[in-house]
Amino acid sequence: MRPFTYERAADLAQASRLGLETGQGQTDARVQFLAGGTTLIDLMKLDVLRPERVVDITPLRSPYATIEAGPNGLRLGALAKMSTVAEHPAVLADYPAISQSLQLAASAQLRNMATLGGNVLQRTRCPYYRDPSWMACNKRTPGSGCAAIAGFNRNHAVLGVDRSCISQYPGDFGVALVALDAQIELSGPQGQRRIAFASLHRPVEGQPHIETTLMPGEVITAFQVTAGGWARRSLYLKVRDRASYEFAIASAAVALEMDGEIVRQARIGLGGMAYRPWRAHEAEAVLTGKPLTEASAEAAAAAALGGAVTHGNNAYKPELGRRTLVRALMQAKTMPVATRKDC
């Protein structure tokens, strides 16, 4: 690990001021925020991230780690621990996809340490990105090429990729957030703003080293999800190579508003398939207004994976993604859902 300066942020304004020196893409950022450290320290040890200054934002925990659940929705502080949110009674009851996406991620030790804000900003697990002895990685070194395209790409993405990068977004929670139309609150040198979570991660567009739309110095302070019947009838299904402590090779977050057999609204996120947390609008359009059957679920899944592009080892992924989505939809249809007067 290279030498760096460590500073503790006394408040949000100080964190943003220190963070203002961050470069545009996070990969080459000279300043990094330290939350749980489970991504950051890992990548510093691997010499992938090389910040000159690490700004510890854990002193901000008490105001920015709260969980508020009410009739209008859920607000999760960005410094809340993954495990705390996963086990919160209101999240378990009314936003099961969120609880499951956190519960199925990483290990118990990691979930006890890692925060929500750090989770959505975790980096790809592409082995060529994580090992600087590989020269060709456009995400780590812009313009150097992509070793994965002709290399070992079994776990790489099939949606939202281009020739500059085929890496997969590895997180689970972000897939649930994108399906549930979450918003995020940001605080930075220019003040506070709220954006759709779906617009946090940039499309690749030949610039994989610029991963998010965060402005220099901006801190994620909270996540918001609106309450609704579809949020209660939501689930997160994760498929992985082993039953625990493993990243998704396919996953689906599904939220349905049903009127008997008819789908009034469908919200679908896909994980393990795409460059960034992926919203499957095409699949939603296929389902809306129709009875949910095995056949309509298969048609929706075909639409979701219609644009898949494979590169050899990951040729199995579109079929796995389709089957995962069909299974998630059929499980969501029959899951028990408590009715509430307040929604």
In three-state secondary structure terms, 138 is coil
Binding residue for ligand FAD, selected from 83, 99, 103, 122, defined by CB under 6 A: 122
E strand residue ranges, 200-261: 219-226, 234-239, 250-259
38 binds ligand FAD (CB under 6 A): yes
The residue range among 135-143, 226-234, 299-307, 329-337 that interacts with ligand SF4, by the rule CB under 6 A, is 135-143
54 in Cβ contact with 7 (< 8 Å): yes
Q: Alpha-carbon distance 272 to 249, whole Å? A: 5
Binding residue for ligand SF4, selected from 31, 44, 114, 126, defined by CB under 6 A: 126
State which residue, 60 or 148, has the beta carbon closest to ligand SF4: 148
Alpha helix ranges (H) inside 21-115: 40-45, 61-64, 82-87, 89-94, 96-103, 108-113
| Minimum gap (Å) between residue 174 Cβ and ligand SF4 | 17
Supply φ then ψ for residue 53, to 5 degrees: -135, 135
Q: Alpha-carbon distance 130 to 124, whole Å? A: 8
The residue range among 30-38, 225-233, 307-315, 330-338 that interacts with ligand FAD, by the rule CB under 6 A, is 30-38
Q: Alpha-carbon distance 317 to 322, whole Å? A: 8
Task: List the single partner that 128 binds among ligand FAD, ligand SF4, none, CB under 5 to 8 Å by kind.
Answer: ligand SF4
78 binds ligand FAD (CB under 6 A): yes
State which residue, 46 or 195, has the beta carbon closest to ligand SF4: 46
138 binds ligand SF4 (CB under 6 A): yes
The site for ligand SF4 (CB under 6 A) is made up of 124, 126, 128-129, 137-139, 146-148, 156, 165-167, 208
